[in-house]
Amino acid sequence: MAAALEIHDLQKQFRSPDGRAAVIVDVPRFELAAGAQVAVRGTSGSGKTTFLNLIAGILTADAGRIDVNGLRVTGLGEADRDRLRATTIGYIFQTFNLLQGCTALENVELAMAFGRGVDRAFASRLLTKVGLDGHLHHLPRQLSVGQQQRVAVARALANHPSLVLADEPTGNLDERHAADALKTIRELCRENGAALLLVSHSPAVLEQFEQVVSFADINHAFGRREGAGA
Amino acid sequence: MSAMPAANGGAAGVHIPRTQSGMAGVAMLARRSLRQHSLSSAVTMLSIGLAAGLTMSVFSLRAQSRDAFLGGAGNFDAVLGAKGSRLQLVLNNVFHLESSPGNISWSVYETAKEHPGVAFAIPYAVGDNYMGARIVGTTTELFDAFQYRPGRRLAVQAGGRLFDMGLREAVVGAEAARRTGLAYGAIFQPTHGLEQNEAGHVHEEEYVVVGVLEPTGTPIDRVILIPLEGIMRMSGHILRTEDDDMYAAQAGEEIPDEVKQISAVMLGLRGPQAGLDLDEQFNKRDSKATLAFPIGAVMADLFDKLGWMVQVLGLVAILVVLVAGSAVLASIHNTINERRREFAILRALGARRSAVFSIILLESATIAAIGTVIGFAVYAAIMGTAAIIIRRQTGVVIDPWALNAALAWTPPGMIALGLIAGLIPAAKAYSTDVATHLAPQT
């Protein structure tokens, strides 16, 4: 069985305002087994969002390769990367990124519409699973912050992804809601057989995971910047 | 690494699952956006509606009024009248508009009538009105020979009859009856002059209405018909001999042909050659009268002269269409910046650039389509009003619901305009940078 995620010699650089090229991501090797749940410890500005965006195919790498579920993301054109995101990768954002004009159910169904097809029964089941059975037709502004995050979790699982990326998913939640949200994310990923790669700087989140790695250890570019800063 | 290289460099046999077209999502988002920006969407739809309605009305009115006026003369082929403008002759005697260019002598009528190519010659004498409805003195031959449409002759409504040539009786056109209130049995006194005038001299003669015409949808609906000599004998009307001596007709006394004067002779011809002969006779050799032949050509000439006005109206309609198109562009373009994040989210969920592009185009096309439906309501309002005004002013009937090519090409044209107007905002949405706009907003 192919790993959920394999990365080799991944590099991404950006040009700073003064015109100098700065390497933001430099990951020689990283692997996530199918169905595994790994937390990555990273501070803000460490390039972890860029790292996740590279895996999701939102950004393209300058060098190296990324395989998701055995498929070489770095060799795909934009349309295929879109398809991969729609069918194989679920993404949970720190700011939830729900569509404000759509209800909870519609937010989940929209992800399905661009993915494997709308399955209202499954969408409702997912929302019920995250405790929103009475809020299917509520707009995001009618939901609490914690409830909005749960909609985002349900949406990430809508297309039966094999890999879920979570970028500071509890960053906007208080401690109690953060613990609940985290539990929900992990449970849903486990039930759906999806691997979970979660990045966070919160010790409360990280201590929930059996497998925690430091982003500075994965991303040598950040390690070098840290070292230079020290 | 354990994975084997595949076609794309990944593991063998691995492929990306198929995705749906996303049209359901595209349609839902377009609908949501229109609802979210309901005020600007409604205003834009209204502007498209006005543009579509105006465009259809201008082209339809142009075609219909041309057809109606060119065919408004029924089976009259020519008008013979006083020396002067052919157009004035036609407008005055066929459409009962404009002032009379003057009178011709009875001998001119008889000359025309005796021409072998003339099927019928009906004299008209005008000069009076009743409450603005023109009074036309004529003979009962009008009811026998004149066909306002092929096979359709003037008919008096049930209970009425034609006037007696020797009595002060009148048959009232349908529209004239409605406007003046004259009904069967009513008695009225004509007023001097072709138009209603408060200070106009009211003739002492009293006429009794013996019939009201069935509506014809032609200018004859607007007039009151009386016996020809009724005009000549009206108090205050002075006839003149060829030597310019004045003659006032006395009751019970026959009017000599030498002093009879009429306004025009309406001619039905047996063929176009007769028209050419009469044209040669009256327009080129005889300086006493003018022949307007063929009537359709005279009206066509008028429409050609008025062509610039129609072109200006068409230009105004095109400008309104362009303004409406700009309104679609501005309305959607203004929302693009606030929606960049929404597009980035959709892209992050796997929506292709083309899907985002389609959302905007669907919105602009929907605005244009709904606007066009409103346009048909605007068209109905304009055409309905125009039909009433034209009928009241000229007697000519136009059908607001008649099919016209503009009704067929305007809807797809407006939708195409909407799509074109949506291209710029759609391109902006298409180019949305996902990573940049997904970042938390501060």
A136 within some domain: yes
* CB–CB contact B440 A53 (8 Å): no
Residue range of the domain that includes A123:
36-62+77-229
Q: Which residue of B has its CA nearest to A161?
A: B17
Summarised one tens digit per residue, pLDDT across range A74-101 is 989 999 999 999 999 999 988 889 998 8
Query: What CA dihedral angle connects B253, B257, B260 and B264, to 10 degrees?
Result: 140
**Dist. CA A123–CA A118, nearest whole Å:** 8
Give whichever of A150-159, B58-67, B286-295, B311-320 has the largest mean pLDDT. Answer: A150-159
Start-to-end Cα distance in chain A: 42
A188 within some domain: yes
Residues in contact with B389: Cβ distance below 8 Å, sequence separation at least 6, in sequence order: none
Residues of A in contact with B335 (CB under 8 A): none
**Dist. CA A68–CA A55, nearest whole Å:** 8
In angstroms, what CA-CA distances link B95 with B98, B153, B217, B340?
9, 17, 12, 63
* CB–CB contact A116 B20 (8 Å): yes
A140 within some domain: yes
The partner residue sitting opposite B3, judged by closest CB among A6, A85, A111, is A6
- Across-strand partners of B427? none
Average pLDDT of the segment spanning B306-317: 84
CATH number of the domain bearing residue A54: 3.40.50.300
Summarised one tens digit per residue, pLDDT across range B112-159 is 999 999 999 999 999 899 998 999 999 999 999 999 988 999 999 999
pLDDT of residue A225: 63
Residues of A in contact with B28 (CB under 8 A): 102, 106, 110, 113
* CB–CB contact A86 B3 (8 Å): no
pLDDT of residue A230: 38
The partner residue sitting opposite A101, judged by closest CB among B8, B19, B36, is B36
Summarised one tens digit per residue, pLDDT across range A5-54 is 999 999 999 887 788 888 889 999 999 999 999 999 988 778 888 999 99
The partner residue sitting opposite B14, judged by closest CB among A71, A78, A112, is A71
Residues in contact with B203: Cβ distance below 8 Å, sequence separation at least 6, in sequence order: B128, B189, B190, B191, B192, B234, B235, B236
Q: Whole-prediction pTM value?
A: 0.74
Number of domains chain A is built from: 1
Query: What CA dihedral angle connects B65, B68, B71 and B72, to 10 degrees?
Result: -110
Residues of A in contact with B29 (CB under 8 A): 99, 101-102, 110
In angstroms, what CA-CA distances link B21 with B156, B162, B346, B350, B356?
68, 75, 13, 11, 12
A193 within some domain: yes
Domain edges within chain B: 23-69+307-438, 78-293
Give whichever of A186-190, B19-23, B402-406 has the largest mean pLDDT. Answer: A186-190
pLDDT of residue B3: 30
Residue B6 — pLDDT band, cuts 50, 70, 90? very low
Is residue B6 within 8 angstroms of chain A, CB to CB? yes
* CB–CB contact A99 B6 (8 Å): no
Average pLDDT of the segment spanning B368-379: 95
Is residue B442 within 8 angstroms of chain A, CB to CB? no
Q: What is the DSSP string of A46-66?
A: SSHHHHHHHHHTSS--SEEEE
Backbone angles phi and psi of B137, in degrees to 5: -85, 130
Q: Residues 378 to 437 of B: which have CB under 8 A from any A CB?
A: 434-435
- Across-strand partners of A7? A30, A66
**SS3 of B284, please?**
helix
pLDDT for residue A228 is more than 70: no
A3 within some domain: no
**ipTM beyond 0.95?**
no
A68 within some domain: no
Q: Which two tokens stand for residue A197?
A: 């790669």
**Dist. CA A88–CA A55, nearest whole Å:** 11
Count the neighbouring beta carbons within 10 Å of the beta carbon of residue A223: 16
- Contacts across the A-B interface (CB distance below 8 Å): 143
Residue B2 — pLDDT band, cuts 50, 70, 90? very low
Residues of B in contact with A94 (CB under 8 A): 440
Average pLDDT of the segment spanning B233-241: 76
